[in-house]
């Protein structure tokens, strides 16, 4: 909550704190423009940051448990690239398909496209994962899918207009701030559907900590668990990527940080903890993104990578065997 | 020794085991028949690659049989739901556990999953069973340790304890002593024998420890290319069946020492 307040109190227009509170609690302010900035811009952005942070972190946690691999995450396994591909086809390819361009630029259309893209890549990775037992190869396969999708995206960009390209590139920077209340509603609904499915897999995920054969021997339906985990991950990653662009590293780094701090593997504790850590870190990252100059905001993706990459490196260098 | 209980927990009729792939079936062994009474300690012996693991995996329904029936307490293996089966058979496998932060208690608690509710909450009965199974395997003092801190011998006890907590009639162990030194090997066999006797469990172990198996098992299953021979250890030594385990001329079975030795002639 504190970070949320901190987050909405900072921005390119400085607003005094007492005004902030009076807008939040009494709905009035001495300046109409301040009220509008807070209500229509900063609060949606703060909520988006929390949804994005927790959703991506949980996707990362699910992938790490499912693949039994500490390096798994929505970004590394090419799921985010899949979502990008979906959006790329929608934005860049719409000139070729023409007809659907009306709905193409609505955020709803982007959400569906991104979810489909994420789901496709994730299923492909999982099919491959079933064939090869070696988890290292699975990661490499994920990276390969990632590069296939970026290749397709560059081919698409070659054939599209400058305007479309610009739209796609800006989307690719990642941004938390472009959502209106209406879009946010859609975001929250889809996000809640994804999150509520989580309760069905907490118990199976715990048994997966012993490996698939043990999980099966305590009566877990592996296929169901695996498919549901994949569906949840692609819904969450898909909708997040659609609305705020491919945001890197949060999904990989936050579960590790949380496991370090809470020192447990029990998903009953980890899932809420990861969600909270994810939202806090995303709020902080977003706050940093708007700090350096008060004039404009840095792309959020730059911040998460700047902060996420060193953590991953540090984890690898320490070679902790715990995870 | 007179068995109090003649209840048959496990029966195999004309079982064929092996793998199905796109190219067709590759049969590992066929025509397997046997029955096991409750409270029996069984050791499955056979050379590398003969299909011991495949047989155990088929019995525990990790992998489907190609033909024939596995019958648990008068009911076909495939008629059990996953959860019902989890209350009948528990496993101790050779595979390495994935890295995680589980404590010994949490790991054993996962054995209670067939009995817990949808979110896996442990009831008082569950906790009681977990503590009991830790006591039976003498690992109470390890309860709060992380499993990756344990020695191989301790970890093996924890895994056996987990299987006990699952409270099943049958416990199947795939080469449980393979990473252990001679002292821990002996202790493990002794522990398993005691558990079978005292708790009236059917314990099935695949192993290469022929000497240990002869000394502690109630029943031996000898797996060779031709067939599966079932019998009490002494009887199998007397009729020379044990010698057929290995076809090599370089080793022979020494009846006095009750183990295979190098053939010096």
- Chain A: closest CA distance from residue B146 (Å): 9
Q: Based on the number of CB atoms within 10 Å of its own CB, is B8 exposed (0-12), middle (13-18) or buried (19 or more)?
A: middle
Nearest to B90 among A217, A259, A321 (CB): A217
Q: Give the whole-angstrom CA distance, residue A4 versus residue A9.
A: 8
Q: Which segments of B18-98 does DSSP mark as H helices, in order?
A: 52-59, 82-86
Task: Write down the domain spans for chain B.
Answer: 1-88+168-265, 97-167
Task: Write down the domain spans for chain A.
Answer: 2-318
Q: Taking the model in full, what pTM does it have?
A: 0.84
pLDDT of residue B137: 92
- Chain A: closest CA distance from residue B110 (Å): 6
Interior CA angle at A188 toward A183 and A192, to 5°?
155
State whether A219 and B83 contact (CB < 8 Å).
Answer: yes
Look at residue B91 and tell me whether its pLDDT is greater than 50. Answer: yes
Confidence of residue B202 (pLDDT cuts 50, 70, 90): very high
Which bin fits B167, alpha (ψ -120 to 50), beta or left (φ > 0)?
A: left
Confidence of residue A100 (pLDDT cuts 50, 70, 90): very low
Q: Note whether A133 contacts B: Cβ–Cβ < 8 A.
A: no
State whether A213 and B110 contact (CB < 8 Å).
Answer: no
pLDDT tens digits, B226-259: 888 899 999 998 888 888 888 778 888 888 888 8
State mean pLDDT over A143-153.
Answer: 83
Instruction: Decide: helix, strand or coil at residue A267.
Output: helix
Q: Note whether A213 contacts B: Cβ–Cβ < 8 A.
A: yes
- Chain A: closest CA distance from residue B256 (Å): 40
Q: What is the ipTM of this complex?
A: 0.88
pLDDT tens digits, A219-256: 888 878 888 888 888 888 888 887 888 887 788 888 88
Give me the architecture of the B1-88+168-265 domain, per CATH: 3-Layer(aba) Sandwich (3.40)
The CATH class of A2-318 is mainly alpha
Q: Which residue of B has its CA nearest to A218?
A: B86
- Please enumerate residues of B whose Cβ is less than 8 A from a Cβ of A: 60-62, 81-87, 89-91, 93, 95, 97-102, 106-107, 110-111, 113-114, 116, 118-120, 146, 148, 166
Interior CA angle at A44 toward A38 and A48, to 5°?
145
**Percent of chain B scoring above 90 in pLDDT:** 53
State whether A207 and B97 contact (CB < 8 Å).
Answer: no
State whether A220 and B101 contact (CB < 8 Å).
Answer: no
State whether B118 and A203 contact (CB < 8 Å).
Answer: yes
Q: Give the whole-angstrom CA distance, residue A162 versus residue A89.
A: 15
pLDDT tens digits, A156-181: 888 777 777 887 887 777 777 767 77
Which one has a higher pLDDT value, A126 or A56?
A: A56
Contacts of A319 in chain B (CB under 8 A): none
State whether A214 and B148 contact (CB < 8 Å).
Answer: no
Q: Which of B120, B130, B145, B167 to mutate to test the interface with A (most CBs of A within 10 A)?
A: B120
State whether A210 and B98 contact (CB < 8 Å).
Answer: yes
E-state strands within A244-315:
none
Angle between helices A79-92 and A162-173 (to 10 degrees): 150
Residue A229 has what DSSP assignment?
A: H
Nearest to B101 among A210, A217, A322 (CB): A322
Q: Give the whole-angstrom CA distance, residue B68 versus residue B14.
A: 5
pLDDT of residue B3: 47
**Percent of chain B scoring above 70 in pLDDT:** 97
Contacts of B120 in chain A (CB under 8 A): 202-203, 206, 268
């Amino acid at each position: 909550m504190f970070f949320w307040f901190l987050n909405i109190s900072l921005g390119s227009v400085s607003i005094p704190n007492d005004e902030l509170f009076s807008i939040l609690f009494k709905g009035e302010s001495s300046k109409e423009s301040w009220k509008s900035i807070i209500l229509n811009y900063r609060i949606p952005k703060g909520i988006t940051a929390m949804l994005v942070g927790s959703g991506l972190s949980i996707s990362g946690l699910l992938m790490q448990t499912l693949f039994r691999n500490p390096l798994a995450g929505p970004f590394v396994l090419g799921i985010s690239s899949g979502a990008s591909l979906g959006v790329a086809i929608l934005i860049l390819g719409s000139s070729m398909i023409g007809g659907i361009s009306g709905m193409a630029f609505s955020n709803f259309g982007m959400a569906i496209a991104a979810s489909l893209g994420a789901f496709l890549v994730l299923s492909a990775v999982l099919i491959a994962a079933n064939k090869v037992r070696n988890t290292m190869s699975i990661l490499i396969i994920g990276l390969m899918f990632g590069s296939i999708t970026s290749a397709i995206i560059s081919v698409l960009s070659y054939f599209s207009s400058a305007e479309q390209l610009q739209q796609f590139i800006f989307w690719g920077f990642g941004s938390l701030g472009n959502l209106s209340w209406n879009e946010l509603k859609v975001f929250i609904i889809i996000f809640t559907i994804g999150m509520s499915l989580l309760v069905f897999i907490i118990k199976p995920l715990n048994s997966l900590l012993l490996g698939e054969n043990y999980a099966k021997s305590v009566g877990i339906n592996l296929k169901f668990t695996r498919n549901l985990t994949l569906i949840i991950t692609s819904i969450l990653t898909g909708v997040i990527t659609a609305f705020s662009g491919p945001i890197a590293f949060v999904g990989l780094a936050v579960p590790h940080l949380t496991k370090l701090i809470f020192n447990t593997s029990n998903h009953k504790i980890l899932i809420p903890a990861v969600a909270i850590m994810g939202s806090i870190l995303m709020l902080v990252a977003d706050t940093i993104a708007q700090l350096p100059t008060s004039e404009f905001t840095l792309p959020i993706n730059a911040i998460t990578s700047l902060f996420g990459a060193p953590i991953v490196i540090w984890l690898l260098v320490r070679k902790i065997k715990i995870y | 020794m007179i068995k109090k209980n003649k209840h048959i927990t496990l029966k195999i009729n004309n079982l064929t085991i092996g793998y199905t792939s796109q190219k067709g079936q590759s049969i590992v062994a066929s025509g397997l028949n046997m029955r096991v009474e409750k409270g029996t300690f069984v050791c499955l012996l056979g050379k590398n690659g003969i299909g011991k693991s495949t047989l155990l995996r088929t019995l525990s329904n990790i992998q489907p049989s190609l033909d024939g029936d596995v019958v648990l307490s008068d009911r076909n293996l495939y008629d059990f739901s996953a959860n019902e089966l989890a209350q009948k058979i528990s496993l101790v496998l050779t595979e390495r556990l994935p890295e995680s932060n589980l404590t010994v208690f949490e790991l054993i608690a996962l054995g209670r999953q067939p009995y817990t509710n949808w979110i896996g909450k442990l009831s008082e009965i569950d906790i009681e069973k977990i503590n009991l199974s830790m006591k039976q395997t003498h690992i109470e003092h390890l309860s709060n340790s992380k499993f990756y801190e344990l020695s191989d011998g301790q970890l093996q006890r924890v895994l056996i304890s987990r299987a006990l907590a699952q409270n099943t009639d049958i416990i199947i162990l795939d080469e449980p002593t393979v990473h252990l030194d001679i002292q821990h090997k002996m202790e493990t066999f002794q522990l398993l024998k005691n558990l079978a006797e005292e708790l009236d469990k059917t314990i099935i172990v695949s192993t290469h420890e022929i000497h240990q198996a002869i000394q502690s098992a109630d029943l031996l299953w000898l797996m060779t290319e031709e067939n599966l021979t079932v019998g009490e250890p002494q009887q199998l030594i007397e009729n020379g069946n044990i010698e057929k385990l290995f076809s090599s001329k370089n080793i022979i079975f020494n009846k006095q020492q009750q183990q295979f030795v190098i053939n010096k002639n």
